[in-house]
Amino acid sequence: MALAHVLGVPRIGANRELKFSQEAFWRGEIDAAALKAVGSGIRQANWQRQHAAGLDFVTVGDFAFYDQMLNHVALLGCAPARFGFGETLELAQYFQLARGNAACHAMEMTKWFDTNYHYLVPELKPDSRFSLGAQWLFDEVAEAQTAGFNVKPVLIGPLSFLWLAKEKAAGFDRLDLLDRLLPVYAQILARLKTQGVEWVQIDEPILSLDLPSGWRAAFERAYHHLNAAGVKLLLASYFGPLRENLLTALKLPVAGVHVDCVRGGDELAQVIDWLPATKVLSAGVIDGRNIWKSDLNAVFERLEGLHLRLADRLWLAPSCSLLHVPASLAGEAGLDAELKSWLAFADEKIAALATLKTGFNEGRPAVAAALSDNARALASRHASQRVHDEAVAARLAALTSLHDARNKPFTARQALQRERFRLPLFPTTTIGSFPQTAAIRSARARFKKGEIGAAGYAAAMQREIRHAVEKQEALGLDVLVHGEAERNDMVEYFGEQLTGFAFSQNGWVQSYGSRCVKPPIVYGDVSRPQPMTVDWARYAQSLTGKPMKGMLTGPVTMLQWSFVRDDQPRAATALQIALAIRDEAVDLEAAGIGIIQIDEPAYREGLPLRRADWPPYLEWASRAFRISASGVNDATQIHTHMCYSEFNDILPAIAAMDADVITIETSRSDMELLRGFGDFDYPNEIGPGVYDIHSPRIPDAEEMVRLLEKAAQVIAPEKLWVNPDCGLKTRGWAETEAALSQMVAAARSLRQACQRAVAR
């Protein structure tokens, strides 16, 4: 009998209940008990759905009030000592680790492998200690057991936890902390065993990475230690093939192994050959990262022989946690029937698992109707006329090297741009968005409901743009933005105006904490029917004599933050989007906009996990950006923005993008991320973020000056811009003005210091 399970499910609630209750808690409108009750309700609903679908376990421990890595920081009693919290955290303290407080900046945040999910980075030092901390996991196990469910807890494995952490002191290797960490993991497993748990899923996604030999060797030592706890361990790897780590994973003393059969499907035959005769194989055959229906008939063809061989040692699963897809198609009345028939969100993927389980255990005739519906949907998508556009294909085929380079090299462009804009040393700007106020959201909602017309909506947005421009003028910023009042999301806004994109009504996915995004669905060829931002930018520029940035989202980010079609190479889709953005940039320039920012915060996120796979990606990704940016004249300044990623290992590719100015997130790392740009001798101009916009904390000018002085040690002052880490849409106006006034003061202080130095 084949079994079925999931590695994790969406945790924000069917209607984003977690988001709204988190934010109410932060505002002091509800207490911790009320927030915990919301969390319990979400967990109970998730478990019930898994149970009702016929899955053999409910997964416990995949829920988090902010982030699963932060949960493990709490569980392992290793909160950064700088907060002074001790080993056991209260919920309010847990959130302070993620959001900062008056005394401490928040923990660093970065992308979870190559996804758009962000995790909090554990901070480790040579004297770091671990101990059993927060009891939340054990409480949730008891909660699920009391409700009558068969429980499978999930933990992030000790080696992945250490790998994903960061050394916050020089002169040690965080792998040296493994021997201190393992006893606490063993203690956790022993505690779970006393609760009657039979299986524990232990995630080691770093097995899909290039690992140094010392880290690979540490797996055997670690899992011999953990195996002694007496519970059955399901070692889970995902997001890619195992390659040279395959034998390491299969030989570990664990009771089962989960492999990603979507991204690492070519390895299945090797896995079967080397799988020990007593071990369970959890086959991740349903794509946990995208929203297209899986070919269930193909899964049967692929696994029927394996099922006969393994019987109940074959477990069926998604490739990874379903955290990365929306909860359910049930409420998607706005999607047309044809497109909707091609899709599967988390609930539909769980239903597909149930179909597979029944088919393997009772025979395909038992699920003949479901398989027929599945095949019909796949055939509909393959044959649909709405997917392909001959004009787009012809334009792509006509691309040459002339389309992906500016006319002059950067130094020549820089001279033209400095003459045109005459900006001061340390010019100040923001990343693009300003607070999305209640008035903005209300106007947008009323417009969507038809309560106000297009003219009324445009007037409301113009009032907000005027307000943002007036505030920036009063603050003394040098390069202004229009504030993006009209934009719901930096990807969705553009996708709604491009062909080949579709949008769900409730397809929310957690990005971090309470931040949820609703990724567009790229189902067909992409083109731009008409200008998307020109009228807003032209209006904003008419309000000021200072330079106004046009704000666009880059092709790689549009790709990465969407659910992308899987019937053609991602590179082809990226180039289609690049041509659409290129057309918009050219029109902005013609409208008098002299500075255009093409944001690429997801550029590194798209990087393949294995270094050997990097060159093709970096080639087409940097080319896509250059195509989007190279239709304008040399006196037009192109900016880009990247955030929450490590860049040092891809700096040549970032330089190859040839943006005139790049702005990056650096404040949480105390400018540490900038050092690589200095070592590399990055040729163009840089704006290192001087304060963290994801925290309500407002640093003073002296703190920002200190950060900029650190930046000036590695980047020539004449190349430095001054800006926040990211856009300001999630902040309120009061804190935005307070922080920006400090930022402008910091820039002016540095200018005066430079003038005094020259005078001496």
- Residues involved in catalysis: 694
Instruction: Locate 356 and state its tokens.
Output: 């597979």
| Residues 250/244, Cβ–Cβ less than 8 Å | no
**How many CA atoms lie less than 13 Å away from 275 in the CB half-sphere?**
24
Q: Are the CB atoms for 326 and 506 separated by under 8 Å?
A: yes
Which residue has 């029944």 as its token pair?
358
With beta carbons less than 8 A apart as the criterion, state whether 602 and 561 touch.
Answer: yes
With 0-12 CB in 10 A as exposed, 13-18 as middle and 19+ as buried, what is 163? middle
8 Å CB contact between 43 and 63: yes
Rounded Cα distance between 577 and 628, Å, is 8
Nearest to 480 by CA among 418, 543, 435: 543
Q: Are 648 and 606 in contact (CB under 8 A)?
A: no
H/E stretch holding 178 reads helix 178-194
Closest to 682 in 3D by CA, of 648, 705, 710, 707: 648
What one-character-per-residue DSSP string does 54-97 give?
A: T-S-EEES---SS-HHHHHHHHTT---GGG---SS--HHHHHHH
The burial class, CB within 10 Å (0-12 / 13-18 / 19+), for 36 is middle
Q: What are phi and psi of 284, to 5 degrees?
A: -80, 85
Rounded Cα gap, residues 617 and 469, in angstroms? 38
Q: How far apart are CA 176 and CA 173, in angstroms?
A: 6
Q: Distance between CA 326 and CA 511 in Å, rounded?
A: 12
Q: Is the dihedral of CA 724, 725, 726, 731 positive or negative?
A: negative
| CA proximity to 675, closest of 716, 718, 710, 637 | 710
Please name the residue ranges forming H helices in 366-497. 368-383, 390-397, 410-421, 438-448, 454-475, 492-495
Phi/psi for 123 (5° steps) reads -105, 120
Measure CA of the first residue to CA of the last residue in the chain; give whole Å: 83
Instruction: Report strand pairing: 499-502 vs 521-527.
Output: antiparallel
**Element holding 599 (H helix, E strand):** strand 595-599
Rounded to the nearest 10 degrees, what angle do helices 17-26 and 91-99 cross at? Answer: 90
CA distance 42 to 15: 10
Q: What is the SS3 string spanning 4-57?
A: ECCCCCCCCCCCCHHHHHHHHHHCCCCCHHHHHHHHHHHHHHHHHHHHHCCCCC
Question: ∠500-506-508 over CA atoms, to 5°?
Answer: 85
Compute CA 520 distance to the chain's CA centroid, rounded to the nearest angstrom. 14
Tell me the CA distances in angstroms from 36 to 2, 49, 146, 396, 458, one per residue in order: 36, 20, 17, 52, 41
